Amino acid sequence: MNRKMVRTTIGQVMIVEAVLMVLPLIVALIYKEYSLLLPFIIPMTFLAVIGYLMSRKKIENMTIYARESFVIVALSWIVVSMFGALPFVLSGEIPSYVDALFEIVSGFTTTGASILTDVEAMSRSLLFWRSFSHWIGGMGVLVFLLALVPNAGNRSMNIMKAESPGPSVSKLVPKTKETAKILYTIYLGITVIEIILLLIAGMPLFDSILHTFGTVGTGGFGVKADSYGSYNAACQWITTIFMMLSGTNFTFFYYLIIKTYYKAFTMEEVRWYYGIFAAATIIITINILHMYSGVFESLTHAAFTVATAMTTTGYATTNFDLWPSFSKTIVVVLMFFGACAGSTGGGIKTSRLVIALKYCYYEVKKMLFPKTVNIVKMDGKAVEDSVIRGTNVFILLYCFIAIVSVIIISFDGFDMTSNFTAIISALSNIGPGLSMVGPAGNFSAYSNLSKLVITLDMLLGRLEIFPILLLMAPSNWKKSKKKR
Amino acid sequence: MNVVIVGCGLVGRTVAQQLSNENVDITLIDNDYQTLKTVSDTYDVMGFCGNGASYEVQVEAETSKADLLIAVTPSDEINILCCLLAKKLGAKNTIARVRNPEYIHQLEFMKEDLGLSMSINPEYAAAEEIMNLIRFPQALNVQGFENGRLNMVDLLLEEGNPLIGLKLYEIYKKYNIRLLICAVNRNKEVIIPNGDTLLCENDVITISTTQTELEKFFEAAGIRKKVIDSAMIIGGSKIAYYLTQKLVESGVDVKIIEKDEQRCVQLCETLPSKVQIVNGHGMDEDTLDEEGMDEYDAFIALTGVDEENTIISMYANAKGIDKVITKINKMSIFDMIKSADMDSIVFPKLITSNIIVSYVRAMKNSVGSTVKALHKIGDRKLDALQFEIKENAQIIGSPFKNLKFKENNVLIAGIIRNEQVIIPDGNSSIQAGDSVIVVTHASDLHDINDILR
C-alpha cells in the first residue's frame, strides 16, 4: 500500500474543496448574509491548511495500483463530506452533525434526500452550497482533480475507474487528464445552456442556477418546499430534457462533438435508456389521465416523474405518491434501473441491466439446449467475462445491502413502504421515496442510527459499492515491510 | 503527438511506458483483452482490442490521424501489413519490427512501396550491443554513439582499483586522458557527478570516451586488460547468427552450442565454415565440459529461456571465465536479475524500445536540434541523448563555463565534430552541425536548449 500517495492525493482533494467553497462565500456576500461568512471560512481554512500539509511533500514513488485507487476514492469522499457538513453545523441552521452529514452526503452523492422540514427558511448561501455539492459530486471530485493536476501519473486511470459509474469505464482519448477535461467541459456546457434556458423560461436567476446544479448532477435539491410544482410547464419540460441528457452516457456527447454520429446513435445503452423512458412515460400518462385536466398535463407530469426516477434526480412536479399503485410501482422499478453508465446518474445503470438481462436469457436458453454457444454482446462487441461477472456481483451486492439496510432502519418502527423506498432511493441516489419519505415528506423522522445507515448507503450507491467495501478490508492496510 | 502501437508485447509495453511520460497520446492495439487491460491500467494509454492488421480496427482506432504507427507484434508479416494499411489510411510515419533475416534485404528494397519509415531488427541491434561488450571486456555495459566513435562504458570499481578514493578532478589531472565520468551508480542511487565527487569501492561509473583513449586509460590506471580471442555461444538464435558473423569478422574463434539439430544444419549452411557448431544442450554440464568451456575467453548465453541463460551464466562465472554475457528477454525481471551477481546483461527488448523512443523524439520537430539517438545508462536511470545541432540553436558559440546549465541535472559528455570526438571541458563550445551527447536525469528532453537554465 502506497500510503504516501494516498495521503497526498487526499490532501489535494481537500485543497480543491477549500477552493470550491469560495463560491458559496461569494453568494453569502451578494445576499449580505454576513453571519454566514465565518461558518464557511473556518472549514475552508482547515481544509486548506491540512490539505497543504498532507500534499506538501513531493513523493518519489507515484506508483499506485487498483487498491490504492479504491482507498483514495473512498477516503476522499468521506473526508470531503465530513468537512462539507461543517458550514451547516457552524451556522446553526442544522445543529446536529449527523443531520448535516446526511444532508451534505446526500448532496455530494447527488441523492437529494433531505432532513430539512422547511427548505425555504434556509439562508441562500447554504442552499447554494447544498446544490453546488450536487454539481461537484455529479462528475466526481477526483475526476475534477485529474483534470487539474499537471502530472496525474501513469495509473491515474485506476482512480477514474473507481469513481466513475458503470461496469467498464473507458477513456475517450489516450490521456486520462484529457479525458477528464473533456468530461468536465461537456458537463459545464450542459450546465450553462440549462441555466440560460431556465432564465428565458422565466425562472429567477438564483433558482435557475440551483435547479441546474440539481439537474445536471442528477441530484434533486431544490429551493422550494413543493420542489418543481410551482414553476411553469416550460421550466418543467426543460428540466425533464436536461435530466435525461445528464443521465445519458457522456461518451454519446463526445461522439456528437467529434461528429461521429454513426457511433453516437448506435450506442446500445443510450437506445435502451431512451426506449425505457418513452415506454414508461406513455404507460404512466395513460394510467394517470383521469387525475389531471388533459393529456398534455398528465404527459408533463408523467415524463417529468419518469425522468426524475430514471436519472435518479428526485425532483417532483406533483406528489406521485397519490398516483395509482401501478404507476407508483413503475416509478419505483425505474429507480432500480437508474441512468446510463458514464453519466452523472445513479442506480444499477442501464448497461448493467441490459448485460444482466441478456446473460439471463442466454443462460435459460442454454438450459434448454445445453450445447448452444452464446456470448453477450454490447454495441456489436462481445462483453468480457470479467465484466459480466462484475455486473452480476454488483447487482447481488446491491440487493444484499438493500436488505440489510431495510432491516436496520425498520427498528424505528415506520411502515414498510417508507423504509423500503427510503433505502432504494438512498442506494440509487434518487432522493424521495414513497409514503413518509415521498415527494412531500422528508427523512427527518428517522433516528440517528438510521440516518447514518442511509448516509452510508448513499456513499455506497454513488461510488458503486466496491470502493467503500474494499476500504473495510483489513488486507488493505498491511504495511509494506521495507520503507519505500 | 499521436502514436498508435500495435502489439502489446514487451517492446510495445516498454515504448508505451516511455512515451506516455513524454506527453504523447498513445493508442494500443492488441487482440488479447486481458493483456491490453493490464497495460492500459498501468500506463496512461488507451487500449483497443482487435487485430491491428484489420481495416475495421484501424479505422476505429483512427490510425489515419496518427503521426506514427509502430507495429511490434510477434509476426513480421502482420507488422508489415499493419504499416501498409496505416500508410494507406493516412498515418504519417510507420515503423515495423522485422526480425527474419530473409526479409531484411527485401525491406530495404521495398521500403518506399511499403511506406515504411523505419524497420527495426532487434536481434541485429542486440548483436551489435554484445559486440561492443566483447570489444571492451572490462566493461559491464557499453553504449556506442555514431557507430562506436564515442562510447559510454560502465565500469565496476572492484577492490584494489586505483580510482577508489580519488576525486574526479584528481583523476583527470593524474592521468591526463581525454575522458569524462558522466554517471556514478552507488547502491542503486545514480548521480551525475561533478569534479568533487569521490569514488568509492563497488561504485559503477560510466565513462564517456573513444576506444583508443579508453585503452590508454586502462593501461595507465593499471586495470587488468582482457582480450577476447575465443567465444562460446549457447543457443543458435538469430542474435547468435548476427553476432557470429561479427565475431568472425574481427577474428574471434566461435563455438555455438545448439540443441536443435535442424537449426545446427541451418547455421552450418549460412555461417562461415570456421565456426564450430555443436549439437548439444547448454543446460548439460557434460556437454559444456566436453566442449571445453573453461578454455574460452567469453561465454554468451543466448537461449530463448531467460532462466536457462541465467543459470548457465552463473555456472560460467563460477568457472572463472573472463567475460560472461547473458541475454534476458523479460524486462519484468530486470531488478531480480540485477540483484543476482551477473557480469553483463543484454536486454534486446530495451534496445529496440530505445531505438523507437529516440525516433519519436526526433520526430518532435524541435527548434535548435533533433534527437538522433537515445541510450539508457546508469542502471536505466539516466538518458544519454545524441543531438544534431542546427544553426539556430541558442547554445552555439559560447564556452561551457559561461553557460548556466540546469544544476546537477545535465552533463555534456561528448561532441562529435567532423567525425572527430571531442571530450569537452569548460572552454569547449558547440558549433552548428555538431553532434552532442548529453547525459540527463530528465526524461523529457527534446531540445538542446532545454539543458540551459
| Angle formed at CA B237 by CA B232 and CA B242, multiple of 5 degrees | 75
What confidence score (pLDDT) does residue A483 get?
45
- Cβ contact, residue pair A174, B25, below 8 Å: yes
**Shortest alpha-carbon distance between residue B365 and chain A (Å):** 21
Q: A155–B41: do the CB atoms touch at under 8 Å? A: yes
Answer yes or no: same fold for B2-120 and B132-221: no
Q: Do B20 and A171 touch (CB under 8 A)?
A: no
Please answer yes or no on whether B42 and A154 come within 8 Å at the CB atom.
yes
What does the radius of gyration of chain B's CA atoms come to, in whole angstroms? 23
DSSP label of A351: H
- Phi/psi for A446 (5° steps) reads -70, 155
Which residues in chain A are closer than 8 Å to B33, comparing Cβ atoms? 384
pLDDT of residue B151: 87
Going by C-alpha positions, the residue among B306, B264, B249, B267 that lies closest to residue B128 is B249
Please name the amino acid found at residue B364: K
Mean pLDDT of B157-179: 83
Which residue has cell 545524441? B386
State how far the Cα of B63 lies from the Cα of B49, in Å rounded to an integer: 14
In this model, does residue B411 exceed pLDDT 90?
Answer: no
Fold of B361-451: Alpha-Beta Plaits (3.30.70)
A71 or B370: which carries more pLDDT confidence? A71
Distance from CA of A244 to the nearest CA of B (A): 28
- Look at residue A480 in the predicted model and tell me its pLDDT: 58
Number of H helices, E strands in chain B: 14, 22
pLDDT of B362 over the 80 cut: no
| Å between A165 CA and nearest CA of chain B | 17
Q: How many CB atoms lie within 10 A of CB A205?
A: 10
Q: Is A229's Cβ below 8 Å from some Cβ in B?
A: no
Q: What is the mean pLDDT of chain B?
A: 85
Verify whether the Cβ–Cβ distance A154 to B43 is below 8 Å. yes
By CA distance, what is B21's nearest residue in A?
Answer: A154
Q: Are strands B369-377 and B382-389 parallel, antiparallel or unpaired?
A: antiparallel
The span from the first CA to the last CA of chain B, in angstroms, equals: 26
* B227 membership: H or E segment, kind and range: none
Q: How far apart are CA A330 and CA A232, in angstroms?
A: 25
Query: pLDDT at position A210, please?
Result: 92
Q: What is the pLDDT of residue A358?
A: 92
Q: How far is A159 from chain B (nearest CA, A)?
A: 10
CB-based contacts of A280, cutoff 8 Å, min separation 6:
A306, A310, A330, A334
CB of A109 within 8 Å of a chain B CB? The answer is no
Of all helices (H) and strands (E), which one includes residue A128? helix A124-139
Going B302 to B303 to B304 to B308, the CA torsion angle's sign is negative
Q: Which chain A residue has the Cα nearest residue B25? A: A174
In the predicted model, is pLDDT for residue B129 greater than 90?
A: no
Distances (CA, A) of A80 to A4, A18, A69, A104: 19, 10, 16, 9
Q: What pLDDT, on a 0 to 100 scale, did the predictor assign at position B106?
A: 80
Give the pLDDT confidence score for residue B408 in this predicted structure. 65
Collapsed DSSP state (helix, strand, coil) of residue A221: coil
Q: Tell me, what DSSP letter sits at residue B183? A: E
Cell numbers 561492443: residue: B132
- Collect all residues of chain A within an 8 Å Cβ-Cβ radius of residue B13: none
Q: What's domain B132-221's superfamily in CATH? A: Regulator of K+ conductance, C-terminal domain (3.30.70.1450)
Chain-centroid distance, C-alpha A291: 32
> Contacts of residue B42 in chain A, CB cutoff 8 Å?
154-155
Count of CB atoms within 10 A of residue B443's CB? 13
**What's the sign of the alpha-carbon dihedral B134, B138, B143, B144?**
negative
Query: Using an 8 Å Cβ cutoff, are B16 and B39 in contact?
Result: yes
ipTM greater than cut 0.95: no
pLDDT tens profile B233-278? 999 888 999 999 999 998 899 999 999 999 999 999 888 888 999 9
What pLDDT is attached to residue A151? Answer: 62
pLDDT tens, residue by residue, B82-110:
999 999 898 888 999 888 877 877 877 77
pLDDT of residue A374: 84
Look up residue A118 and give its three cell numbers.
Answer: 422547511
C-alpha A133: how far from chain center: 10
> How close A151 gets to chain B, by Cα (Å)?
9
| Amino acid in position B46 | M
Q: Give the mean pLDDT of chain A.
A: 88
Distance from CA of B298 to the nearest CA of A (A): 38
One of 3.40.50.720, 3.40.50.1110, 4.10.80.40, 3.20.20.370 is the CATH number of B2-120, namely 3.40.50.720
What is the reported pLDDT for A83?
A: 94
Is A173–B33 a contact, with Cβ atoms under 8 angstroms apart? no
Are B46 and A154 within 8 A, CB to CB?
no
C-alpha cell at A433: 421515496
Domain chopping of chain B, boundaries = 2-120, 132-221, 227-321, 361-451
Beta bridge partner(s), residue B231:
B254, B298
pLDDT category, B170, cuts 50, 70, 90? confident
The whole-angstrom distance between A146's CA and the closest CA on chain B is 12
Among A155, A173, A177, select the one facing B46 at the smallest CB separation. A173
pLDDT tens digit sequence for B192-228: 888 888 888 888 888 888 888 888 888 887 776 678 8
pLDDT at position B71: 93
Q: Is B431 exposed, middle or buried (0-12, 13-18, 19+ CB in 10 A)?
A: middle
Measured in degrees and rounded to the nearest 5, phi and psi for residue A96 equal -80, 135
Output the CATH code of domain B227-321: 3.40.50.720
CA angle A241–A246–A251, rounded 5-degree value: 120
pLDDT for the residue A459: 92
Q: Spell out where B227-291 has E strands.
A: 230-234, 253-258, 276-279
CB contact under 8 A, A384 and B33: yes
User: What percent of chain B has pLDDT above 90?
Assistant: 15
| A390 close contact with B: CB closer than 8 A | no
Residues of chain B with Cβ-Cβ distance to A156 below 8 Å are 44
pLDDT at A484: 40
Smallest Cβ–Cβ distance between A174 and the set B17, B21, B27 belongs to B27
Size of interface A-B (CB pairs under 8 A): 37
Q: Which residues of A touch B20 (CB under 8 A)?
A: 154
Q: How many residues does chain B have?
A: 453
Q: What are the backbone angles phi and psi of residue A255, rounded to the nearest 5°?
A: -60, -40
- Residues A472 and A467: their CA atoms lie apart, in Å, by 9
Nearest CA in chain B to A66: B41
Q: Report CB contact under 8 Å: B46, A174.
A: yes
Residues of A with CB below 8 A from B27's CB? Answer: 174
CB contact under 8 A, A154 and B40: no
Which A residues 133-152 touch B at CB under 8 Å? Answer: 152
Pick from A459-473, B65-79, B163-177, B358-372: least confident: B358-372
Contacts of B56 in chain A (CB under 8 A): none
Which residue of B44, B54, B443 to mutate against A (max A Cβ within 10 Å)?
A: B44
Q: Which residues of B touch A (CB under 8 A)?
A: 2, 17, 20-21, 25-27, 33, 40-46
Instruction: Convert A248-263 to b/e letters by CB count within 10 Å (16 or more is b).
Output: bbbbbbbbeeeeeeeb
From chain A, the residues in CB contact with B44 under 8 A are 152-157, 174-177
pLDDT of residue A60: 73
B44: nearest CB among A170, A175, A384: A175
Residues A155-193: b if buried by 16+ CB within 10 A, e if exposed: bbbbbbbbbbbbbbbbbbbbbbbbbbbbbbebbeebbee
Task: For cell 569537452, name the residue.
Answer: B424
pLDDT at A153: 62
Determine the distance in angstroms separating the CA of B16 from the nearest CA of chain A, rounded to an integer. 11
Residues from chain A contacting residue B62 (CB–CB below 8 Å) = none
Q: Which stretches of chain A drop beneath a pLDDT of 70?
A: 150-155, 477-484
Residues composing chain A: 484
Considering only CB atoms, A175 lies closest to which of B17, B25, B33, namely B25
Within 242-301 of A, beta carbons closer than 8 Å to B belong to none
pLDDT digits (tens, 9 = 90+) for B25-38: 899 999 888 888 88
Q: Cell triple for residue B119?
A: 524497420
A220 neighbors A112 (Cβ within 8 angstroms): yes
Q: What is the pTM of this model?
A: 0.82
Residue of A nearest to B1 (CA): A174
Q: Taking a C-beta distance cutoff of 8 angstroms, is the pair B226, B297 a contact?
A: yes
- Which residues on A lie below 8 Å from B17 (Cβ)? 154
> Within B136-186, where are the H helices?
168-175
Are residues A154 and B33, on separate chains, in Cβ contact within 8 Å?
A: no
Q: Are A144 and A180 in contact (CB under 8 A)?
A: yes
Nearest CB among A66, A154, A178 relative to B20 is that of A154
Which chain B residue's Cα is nearest to A172? B46
Distance of CA A88 to the CA centre of its chain: 21
Which residue is closest to B62 within chain A, CA to CA? Answer: A173
